[in-house]
A and B are shown apart, each in its own frame.
Chain A
Amino acid sequence: DIQMTQSPSTLSASVGDRVSITCRANESISSWLAWYQQKPGKAPKVLINKASRLESGVPSRFSGSGSGTEFTLTISSLQPDDFATYYCQHYNSYPYTFGQGTKLESK
């Protein structure tokens, strides 16, 4: 199975900050990676697929980059609505796996 490791596990930041979350795979997954945002009590919401393709309706302050084994989700200017938990997920091959999550909290 392909293992996905996110860092950091927790990130403290302020409104207006530029923040980045890293996701590493233990083998190459090309660009077959998605990023999700999850708020308490809600289902995850996909933000980005194929490593860098922004989903319709997702604000342009979110961006994704990377390929192979290292990927990054960046929020260019943090907004109050962005405090949530973020997950990466590969879909290179079965079984699909998720990163352990990064909780983005207010400093």
Chain B
Amino acid sequence: QVQLQESRPGLLKPSETLSLSCSVSGGSVSSPAYFWGWIRQPPGKGLEWIGSVSYRGKTFYNPSVKSRVTISLDTSKNHFSLNLKSVTAADTAMYYCAGSAGWFDPWGQGTLVIVSS
């Protein structure tokens, strides 16, 4: 059974870069069964898809963050990563990683990212 676990980046200041990784256990990021995605949820609000990466490393991004975001695979560590540049308070959210076959399953437990000066 595939399980996902996000890293914990801590508190960020405006203009810094958010870097998260998602460790995959019970499966391989190179498996053609999955794409791998990031979804975020601001406190008290709904879900926003950030982007996804295929098992071959092809990426797909939400236009709302496309100019600031990079998602990548690291097959040697069996994880995938999210980098979001120039964060602002609007990027404060719970960040989830997930496997994807279109819909998202499984999900990591989520990690709270707070952007504050």
Contacts and interface: CB of A to CB of B under 8 A. Distances in A.
A14 interface: no
B101 to A, nearest CB: 8
Interface string A93-104: 011111111000
Interface size class of A (residues with CB under 8 A): 20 to 34
Given A1-B63, A49-B103, A89-B104, A43 B46 contact: no
Interface stretch (B16-24, B26-34, B82-90, B107-115): B107-115
Given A95-B62, A100-B46, A43 B102 contact: no
Contacts, number: 54
A17 interface: no
Chain A's interface: helix, strand, loop or mixed, by majority? loop
A34 B47 contact: no
A44 interface: yes
Contacts of A99: 46
A36 B49 CA distance: 14
A43 B103 contact: no
B49 A43 contact: no
A46 interface: yes
Interface in B26-66: 46-49, 52, 60-64
B96 A43 contact: yes
A98 B105 contact: no
B46 A49 contact: no
Contact of B102 (A36, A44, A87, A91): A91
B60 to A, nearest CB: 5
A49 B109 CA distance: 21
B47 A44 contact: yes
B54 to A, nearest CB: 12
Interface in A7-54: 32, 34, 36, 43-46, 49
B107 A43 contact: yes
Considering the complex of A and B, which 5 residue pairs feature the smallest CB-CB distances, nearest first?
Answer: A91-B102, A34-B103, A43-B107, A98-B47, A96-B49
Interface of A: 1, 32, 34, 36, 43-46, 49, 55, 87, 89, 91, 94-101
